[in-house]
Structure 1
Amino acid sequence: MNWLLVVAGAVVGAPLRYLTDRAVQSRHDSVFPWGTFVVNVVGSTILGLLTGAVAAGAAGTHLQLLLGTGLCGALTTYSTFSYETLRLTETGAGLYAAANVVGSVLAGLGAAFAGVAIAQALWA
């Protein structure tokens, strides 16, 4: 039965990723992959909040499967991040590629830590 929770979260997360990516990217006249950057940071924030909520006892394993594994798993995308970074490098936009790697890692970790801190403040 747990797999249904993962599937339900993914059914929402995958189209949300695609639509958000397209909406964000269409507003930027740059080769930098802003859409993927945004969905990965948002997903990291959600996962941080959820992790903090679970640690505080405010959320259970079912919500963790639905939102963490399902929604965030489908919303965030390491493969697209990798592909877009590779494409930036191949097209001579090495500075953008480096910014994407450093910015994505720092922003993603920062968002996850911030999410956990917010959850702890709310439920600890």
Structure 2
Amino acid sequence: MNENRVSERSLAPTANALFVAWTERTGIAVEVWALADQAVPPKIADGLLRALAEALAAIEEGVWPRAVAVALTSGPRGVRLTVSHDGAGEPWPGSRLAVLHATFLELGGRVNVTYVPGGGTTLTGTIAADRLGR
């Protein structure tokens, strides 16, 4: 057994709890497209959950869409967090986007934001497998 795997943890339970609490507070539905059940190192898990909470806070602060979609996947190439919304406002408040970039940079990853005026925004953060110790 790989000793590093013993200290890894799953993101799914904490992410699900975050979605439920956020939806109850805001009334905005979170559609979960995919939620990794594969465990990742604690530093990566903590960073991804911070990024997810920051993305939801940014959406709540800026655009108030009808729906938010989230995919959090983990595979041989690494981990990917995608958060999309159908809001028509600013894509992400600047300070929140800076925190998201810094979080992924700290984890050895990167963030990409795609904005369609009036059509919503998608944020994708990735962390390569070599940063996960795989």
Alignment TM-score, normalising by the size of structure 2: 0.30
Structure number with the higher strand fraction is: 2
Alignment TM-score, normalising by the size of structure 1: 0.32
User: Looking at both structures, which has the greater relative contact order when contacts are Cα pairs under 8 Å and sequence separation is at least 6?
Assistant: 1
Structure number with the higher helix fraction is: 1
Query: Whose radius of gyration is greater, 1 or 2?
Result: 1
